[in-house]
Structure 1
């Protein structure tokens, strides 16, 4: 397998810049997610790594070799797409074997490797069946098998589960991750689904308008979003944003929100009076009678063991994820307290998070 290093990668299509100065490293054997909304540049980045698009500038190194201007055929990369692109006139065995047959691999070796891949994917019983009658999940396994059988340096997956229904997607996501763990393959995976990225990825790059907003582990990105975009895009419900005018000094461990002191992680920067945003995840909001910061209950949403309570405050709407046994009646005013170590403070103008003792190791784009 292979380490993949991206340095200052840029892609222009005429006057449109699809990817802007992206830099990150995909470790050998890592399951790496490129995450973002439609049009953010994630698929273009994947295609440049694979050699299906050549970068306008920047470097792509695979196993230390600069492949930036090399075609896909010289990069030893296998692609898996959303559409299965199987050969309908061939059975499963011949579909999986096709890359090896086209390379002139000996028949005995082809048979051995196809059967090995079929065992890994648990589709031995399908080898002699036609692909036309297979379920979507089984077709995707065959497409994966055709990629795996080549034993490439890395796998590129462009929303491979996008054509499956919700139940199959969840099952195949689990199977893909388990397959990755068994093989130790370097995998680059494009998705717009933040839950899929959080579930499967070792590392995530979050992109927006061609820019890498943040990269890191799923937990780092969830707990310490580097920008307002990341904070809003990751999490369901998304992070709450309380907008206010404020200032603080380096070393402060609280901010003033509507005249109420709110404890925060130690702030490692200084901000003159300016528009700020306090970010808090719904699960880090507690409803309590004696908290001085107040909100009015607007609605509740029952989710089984928990409920989502929506409240209006002087600084914006707040959602709290609390135990379902807690009674919150629409119309009542309650106190809100926040878990200090889990708060983020953003500059409203730039959208960037201020550095704190908690997020000091966060990788911005």
Structure 2
């Protein structure tokens, strides 16, 4: 397996810049997610790591070796794509064996490797079937098998579950993660689905318009978004953002929101007379009779064990995730309290999060 280091990676297509100076490190054996909306540069980044596109500038190091200008054939990388890319005229066994046969390996060695991989993936019973008649899930397993059989330094996966229906996609995501945990193979996985990234990834890079917005573990990114874009993109529902004007100084542990003091993590920066944004996850909002900050209930969405309450406040709409047995009525005015240590503060102009005692050491690259 391999560590992959990306330094100031940039890709231009004529006057359009698809990737703008990305830097991050993919640890040896990590399941690494490139996450973002369509057109954010995540697939272009994957293709540059794989050697299918050469960067305009920057470095790509695999196992400490600079491969930035080498083609894919010289990088020992295996690919798994959304559309499977199987040979329809070959059966499952021959599809999996193809990379080894093309390398001229002895027949006995090829047969042993195919048997081993098919056992790992649980597809021994379909080895002699044609691929055209297989289900989407089985075809994806065959595509995985053809990648695994080579034992490459790293796997590149470009939305490999995107063509599957929602229920089976969740099942295959669990299988992929379990397969990774057995093999400990360095894997770079592109997706636009933040739930898929949070479920499967060891580390996540969140991209937007060619820029790395944040790099970290799923928990770091969820608990401490580095930008307003990440706060909105990660989470279902996403983080609440309440817009206001105010000031604070380094060392403060509260802000003033509509004339009411709100406790926050201790602040490590200063902002005077700025347009600010307070961020709070729905599960960190409590409906409280004695809460000084007030909101009005607009709607309730029942989700089984919990319900999502939508409220209007003087600083914007807000959602609260509360137990389903909490009785609420549309139109009621209620007090609101926020879990202080889980709040985020952002500069409305730049979109960047202010550093606090809670998020120290979290933001990377």
TM bracket (short chain): over 0.9
TM-score, normalised to structure 2's length? 1.00
RMSD of aligned alpha carbons: 0.5
Aligned partner of 2:316 in structure 1 is 316
1:47 aligns with 2:37: no
**Count, aligned residues:** 365
Aligned partner of 2:81 in structure 1 is 81
Aligned partner of 1:227 in structure 2 is 227
Structure 2 matches for 1:20-39, cutoff 5 A?
20-39=20-39
Gaps of 5+ in 1: none
8 Å CA contact 1:226–1:364 kept in 2: the answer is: no
Residue by residue over 1:224-245, the C-alpha shift from the partner in whole angstroms, topping out at 9 and shown as x without a partner, is: 0000000000000000000000
Gaps of 5+ in 2: none
Aligned partner of 1:129 in structure 2 is 129
Distance 2:104 2:13 in 1: 38
Aligned partner of 1:296 in structure 2 is 296
Structure 2 matches for 1:36-115, cutoff 5 A?
36-115=36-115
Residue by residue over 1:251-277, the C-alpha shift from the partner in whole angstroms, topping out at 9 and shown as x without a partner, is: 000000000000000000011111000
Residue by residue over 1:280-305, the C-alpha shift from the partner in whole angstroms, topping out at 9 and shown as x without a partner, is: 00000000100100000000000001
8 Å CA contact 1:2–1:29 kept in 2: the answer is: yes
Distance 2:184 2:362 in 1: 26
Structure 1 residue 363 displacement after superposition: 2.3
Distance 2:98 2:166 in 1: 30
Distance 1:122 1:137 in 2: 12
TM-score, normalised to structure 1's length? 1.00
Aligned partner of 2:336 in structure 1 is 336
Distance 2:146 2:205 in 1: 27
Structure 1 residue 356 displacement after superposition: 0.2
Aligned partner of 2:268 in structure 1 is 268
1:256 aligns with 2:256: yes
- Residue 23 of structure 2 aligns to a residue whose secondary structure is strand
Distance 2:144 2:31 in 1: 15
Structure 1 residue 132 displacement after superposition: 1.2
